[in-house]
Amino acid sequence: MAGKLTTGNITGIEKLHIVGGAEDRTAITNGNAAKNKPLVVCFGELLIDFVPTVGGVSLAEAPAFKKAPGGAPANVAVGVSRLGGSSAFVGKVGDDEFGYMLADILKQNNVDNSGMRFDRTARTALAFVTLKADGEREFMFFRHPSADMRLHESELNTNLIKQANIFHYGSISLIEEPCKSAHLAAMNIAKKSGSMLSYDPNLRLPLWPSPEAARKGIMSIWDQSDIIKVSEDEITFLTGGDDPYDDNVVMKKLFHPNLKLLVVTEGSEGCRYYTKAFKGRVPGIKVKPVDTTGAGDAFVSGLLNSLASDSKLFQDEKRLRDALLFANVCGALTVTERGAIPSLPTKTAVLDALNKHSASKK
């Protein structure tokens, strides 16, 4: 499909077998956020996903693994860039081959990686991701601690964060110090600079000390965000078991006075949206899922790319619905291939799919 990571005739995940030598390390970062375009800055984790070469098996049964870049905030940054937008990533990896490989992949995908830092004492995080028969995932993480957890406030690229039209983050960076303090400081810098704050909790329960700690940590910054995207499962978890399809539950327990937009993703069924003025649902498009890794991140990148260039979307329901359908298609196209970053779509691919979807409805 369109939008593959390419270098010469090497495509997709295969590109990830190339690791730069010492000469690459001197010029590994770039500050090339596209000029005159609204900037989306993504903060958080960047890691290596190891994905089984066959689907429907446990980690123990997998005959082999392919490595792929991962980490929700980094996926969103690449997704925005792939769609023609301007994006940057702020976070920390290890001073190791995987860390430099990840920095280089961001650079190749036109993501400004000048906010990346390299830790000499902790390794780049690893995650083994099992693809079950239905395309859903199970995770095993190796981060004891990993470099992303060791980002300090003093290491933040504050000038880059101040340029953000939208500052996007998850909750994994809230689990441990010093990264938690760096996360809160970055949010504060962005907010004071006039950025919209975008939050996708991206619940990964095995990484938290307990479910209670996860719920408390995720909700601790809830009321500061302008845009929040959650899944059905995350609503059930955050509300203590309430019905994720009940609009009253969503509005009473999750909507807050400062929120401009709350989006609930429903996988292949599409999404629901809630603003102060209106609410509704936008159906998804049907595809055959191969790997759901990165689908939510692709959705977020599609939505944020639209919002970055049209910040008044919240006030016009038709324009918002169009943007959410675009985001739904971004997510749908991503699940048709393995790996998150290699399968993130281009704007052309999304528009082609939208045209086919529109034609099929006539």
| pLDDT tens for the chain, residues 1 to 362 | 333 333 333 223 323 332 233 333 333 556 655 557 899 999 999 999 898 888 788 888 889 998 989 899 999 999 999 999 999 999 999 999 999 999 999 999 999 999 999 999 999 999 998 876 665 667 889 988 999 999 999 999 999 999 999 999 999 999 999 999 999 999 999 999 999 999 999 999 999 999 999 999 999 999 999 999 999 999 999 999 999 999 999 999 999 999 999 999 998 899 999 999 999 999 999 898 877 888 999 999 999 999 999 988 999 999 999 999 999 999 999 998 877 888 999 999 999 999 988 877 76
Q: In a 3-state reduction of DSSP, which class is residue 189? A: helix
Fold for the domain defined by 39-361: UDP-N-acetylmuramoyl-L-alanine:D-glutamate ligase (3.40.1190)
Which of 70, 30, 66 has the alpha carbon at shortest distance from 46? 70
Neighbouring CB atoms inside 10 A of 137's CB total 14
- CA 67 from centre of chain: 18
**What's the pLDDT score for residue 221?**
98
**What's the pLDDT score for residue 53?**
85
**What's the pLDDT score for residue 31?**
60
Prior bond of 145 cis (ω within 30°): yes
- Threshold 0.85, pTM exceeds: yes
- Residue 332 and residue 288: Cα distance in Å, rounded? 9
- CA 214 from centre of chain: 19
**Where do the domains of the chain lie?**
39-361
Q: In a 3-state reduction of DSSP, which class is residue 280? A: strand
- Residue 32 and residue 77: Cα distance in Å, rounded? 13
Amino acid at the residue 52: P
**What's the pLDDT score for residue 249?**
92
**What's the pLDDT score for residue 57?**
84
Eight-class DSSP state of 127: E
Contact 140, 127 (CB under 8 A): yes
